[in-house]
Amino acid sequence: MDRDHIYQLQPLKICDGWSVVLNNLSSERRMQEKCELLILQNEKRKAFIKVLYENDQYHLIVAGLKKDKIYKEKSSDEIEHLLKELEYQIWTVGSGVLEGLQPLSQQIPNFLRLKIPAGWTVDYITLKDTDPKTLEANDDAWLFDFNQDLLQVSHKTKKLLLDVGWYPEGDPTGSYVIELIKNEDWENPLEDMMCTELKELLKQLEFIFKKEMKNKNEF
């Protein structure tokens, strides 16, 4: 697999509980007549979401894990339309409203869109698309959007945890801290980075994902 694969992925606004089984969802024009682009699995909700490409269309399927039941199917010619519906279904199913797929009772939170490759599970996320560089020191966002528990994704097979927090909590002079932990050894992180800008945070996360894709056979 191309090690630059991570950079080609479509960023998604995702909630906790989803595992990325397959991710080839990019903005590149599809050459194959038929292919699977994305598989997300949610053990808690006993459901999966799949995106296929066939007959020059994107096809989104929401189905149950344990029973042979399809809850939702939708097709689209444009990837922009697909992404909007995909994020809606990610949050609808992730919120626990599966039977009947009733509308969300609230809007999807303004979470940061992330490029997450196959093998990783979102354990929790509260990471907002709020750039600290644009905030005044007295902005309420410091209290609500910048804490020590912003993001944790795990790779169960490789026993890895990727953790993001803001330290000190709520402090405009603080920083994002990104740590990659193996075997729960928090004293000796594989990666330990700091940054103060949202764009730099995304670059660091993608760098770590890319590095681990390169080391996919190392356990």
Tens-digit pLDDT profile for the chain (219 aa)? 455 788 899 999 999 999 999 999 997 766 677 899 999 999 998 999 999 999 899 999 999 988 778 888 999 999 999 999 999 999 999 887 665 555 566 688 999 999 999 999 999 999 999 999 999 999 999 999 999 999 999 999 999 999 999 999 999 999 999 999 999 999 999 999 999 999 999 999 999 999 998 886 554
- Domain containing 36 equals 20-94
pLDDT at 2: 54
What is the three-class DSSP state of 16? coil
Residues 199/178, Cβ–Cβ less than 8 Å: no
Could you tell me if 89 and 44 lie in one domain? yes
101, part of any domain: no
pLDDT at 69: 86
Single out the residue of 188, 180, 186, 177 nearest to residue 160, CA to CA. Answer: 180
107, part of any domain: no
Number of domains in the chain: 2
Cβ-based neighbour number of residue 183 at 10 Å = 10
CATH code of the domain covering residue 38: 3.30.67
pLDDT at 7: 86
Please give the Cα distance from 37 to 60 (Å, whole number).
10
CA atoms within 13 A on the CB side of 191: 19
Q: Kindly calculate the radius of gyration of the chain based on its CA atoms and give it in whole angstroms.
A: 18
Q: What contacts 24+ positions apart, CB below 8 Å, involve 4-9?
A: 4/210, 5/117, 5/210, 5/213, 6/115, 6/117, 6/206, 6/209, 6/210, 6/213, 7/115, 7/206, 7/210, 9/115, 9/116, 9/117
Could you tell me if 36 and 73 lie in one domain? yes
Residues 134/199, Cβ–Cβ less than 8 Å: no
139, part of any domain: yes
106, part of any domain: no
15, part of any domain: no
Could you tell me if 136 and 71 lie in one domain? no
104, part of any domain: no
pTM of the model: 0.91
Could you tell me if 89 and 143 lie in one domain? no
112, part of any domain: no
Out of 47, 76, 94, a domain closes at: 94
